Amino acid sequence: MQSANNVMVLYTGGTIGMQASANGLAPASGFEARMREQLAEHPVPAWRFQEMAPLIDSANMTPAYWQRLHAAVIDAVDQGCDGMLILHGTDTLAYSAAAMSFQLLGLPARWCSPAPCCRPAYPTAMPGKTSVVRWPRWAKAWYRACSCTFMAR
């Protein structure tokens, strides 16, 4: 088995990237910069970042959004990515993981990498919370032979 060397991170919104707003916590743009800052001193594989549009609270996930996620995964494969991390909120994570498991059945045999869907317990914008730095542990588990869902706390 081979570890992933070129990972695509798909950010859908959800808890990990939420920031305070007038209406409480809300999904926010700019998460890539916060993620890169937190991971700067950690050994991780090469990775790219794509912010999905619109960013959503996972309670608002829809089958149409799953189709956009599917298209983003296929695009990443076509661009040479051999690993995938989908940053997702908690509320509908199980449904999204199930939907993606069926949508990704048609991928060519050359790419059989896991596409973990991860949800943190806290936004990274909260003082003292560093959910992203646990990513190296997930990255070490990425192999090109299985499908999985990781939950992080």
Per-residue model confidence as pLDDT tens digits over 106-152:
776 445 555 555 555 556 655 555 555 455 454 444 433 333 444 33
Mean pLDDT, rounded, for 97-103? 84
Q: What is the 3-state secondary structure (H, E, C) of 36-97?
A: HHHHCCCCCCEEEEEEEEEEECHHHCCHHHHHHHHHHHHHHHHCCCCEEEEECCCCCHHHHH
Q: Which helix (H) or strand (E) holds 148?
A: none
Burial degree of 30 (CB within 10 A; 0-12, 13-18, 19+): exposed
Give residue 41's pLDDT.
Answer: 82
Instruction: Evaluate whether residue 18 is within a structural domain.
Output: yes
Catalytic residues: 15
CA angle 60, 64, 65 (to 5 degrees): 55
* Structure confidence at residue 141 (pLDDT): 46
**Distance, CA of 6 to CA of 113 (rounded, Å):** 11
115 part of a folded domain: yes
In a domain, 31, yes or no: yes
Q: How far is residue 102's CA from residue 104's CA, in Å, rounded to a whole number?
A: 5
pLDDT category at 91 given cuts 50, 70, 90 is confident
CATH number at residue 64: 3.40.50.1170
**Among 57-61, 78-82, 91-95, 137-141, the least confident range:** 137-141
| pLDDT for 35 | 86
Residue 77 structural domain: 6-140
Among the listed ranges 10-14, 52-56, 92-96, 145-149, which one has the minimum average pLDDT value?
A: 145-149
pLDDT of residue 64: 96
The residue-averaged pLDDT of 74-101 equals: 85
| Domain assignment present for 23 | yes
What DSSP character marks residue 14? S
In this prediction, residue 123 carries a pLDDT of: 62
Residue 84 and residue 150 in contact, taking contact as beta carbons nearer than 8 Å: no
In a domain, 91, yes or no: yes
In a domain, 71, yes or no: yes
Question: In 3D, which of 44, 42, 50 has the Cα closest to residue 68?
Answer: 50
- Examine the pLDDT at 71 and tell me if it is beyond 70: yes
Model confidence at 44, pLDDT cuts 50, 70, 90, reads confident
Q: How many domains, in total, are found in the chain?
A: 1
Spatial separation of the C-alpha atoms in residues 44 and 133, rounded to whole Å: 10
Q: What percent of the chain has pLDDT over 90?
A: 20
